[in-house]
Amino acid sequence: VNVYEGVMQTLIDELGRLPGVGPKSAQRIAFYLLKVDALDAKRLARAIEDAKDRVTWCRRCFNISEGELCAFCLDQRRDDHVVCVVEEPRDIVAVERTGEYRGRYHVLGGTLSALDGVGPEELNIAGLVRRVAQGGIREVIVATNATVDGQTTAHYITDLLHGANVQVTRLAHGVPVGGELDYLDEGTLAAAIRQRTPF
């Protein structure tokens, strides 16, 4: 229901289109923005504009980038022999937070999905195959999500790279750090048993 008039309703409608923002939150944010300093509100508007104008996709790995190549592709200190394949740029942030990985990345831009009609052509898969074919990569770590679509995509990529001179690995699934066995769902515990490793 459109309770407000003109620009206020437009603002609420636009905010309500954002992911995870329902009508109530949209209204709350809109009123918050009305109350803040004009400069603060303009800075937000400017940040959105600048990001839309300047951020594109890395030519090599399809991460977000302000130039032809992203920071991870440009970083000379990273290991060229390993490529970690993720679904979205935000997954890179998650892997980086671990401090465990110093290789390169490749962003698929989603997962294969029969339901949503997403095929291999819609994802940045050809680019990955090309990178592997160019040589120099010893290991491809497929770090897609542990969802049905994520796992389907992982299988697809593994099959595709079969025969290429590269080792394809996947993230282990299992007991979360600090997790208790009787709180785990059967799927997670089953995967942990299957993927058990020697001490």
User: Using the rule CB under 5 A, which residue among 11, 12, 30, 70 binds Zn ion?
Assistant: 70
Q: How far apart are the first and last CA of the chain?
A: 61
User: Using the rule CB under 5 A, which residue among 30, 58, 143, 154 binds Zn ion?
Assistant: 58
User: CA 111, CA 155: separation in Å to the nearest integer?
Assistant: 11
Q: What sign does the dihedral 168-170-123-160 (CA atoms) show?
A: positive
Least Cβ distance, residue 175 to Zn ion (angstroms):
33
73 binds Zn ion (CB under 5 A): yes
Least Cβ distance, residue 94 to Zn ion (angstroms):
16
86 binds Zn ion (CB under 5 A): no
Selected range binding Zn ion among 44-52, 61-69, 78-86, 184-192, rule: CB under 5 A = 61-69
Q: What sign does the dihedral 88-92-97-101 (CA atoms) show?
A: positive
User: CA 23, CA 13: separation in Å to the nearest integer?
Assistant: 8
128 binds Zn ion (CB under 5 A): no
User: CA 50, CA 182: separation in Å to the nearest integer?
Assistant: 49
85 binds Zn ion (CB under 5 A): no
User: CA 67, CA 172: separation in Å to the nearest integer?
Assistant: 34
141 φ/ψ sector (left φ>0, alpha ψ -120 to 50, else beta)? beta
User: Using the rule CB under 5 A, which residue among 12, 15, 26, 61 binds Zn ion?
Assistant: 61
User: CA 88, CA 77: separation in Å to the nearest integer?
Assistant: 23
63 binds Zn ion (CB under 5 A): yes
Least Cβ distance, residue 84 to Zn ion (angstroms):
12
Least Cβ distance, residue 86 to Zn ion (angstroms):
12
Selected range binding Zn ion among 55-63, 92-100, 139-147, 189-197, rule: CB under 5 A = 55-63
Selected range binding Zn ion among 31-39, 53-61, 90-98, 139-147, rule: CB under 5 A = 53-61
Q: What are the tokens at 100?
A: 């465990």
Please report, as ranges, the residues that interact with Zn ion according to CB under 5 A.
58, 60-61, 63, 70, 73
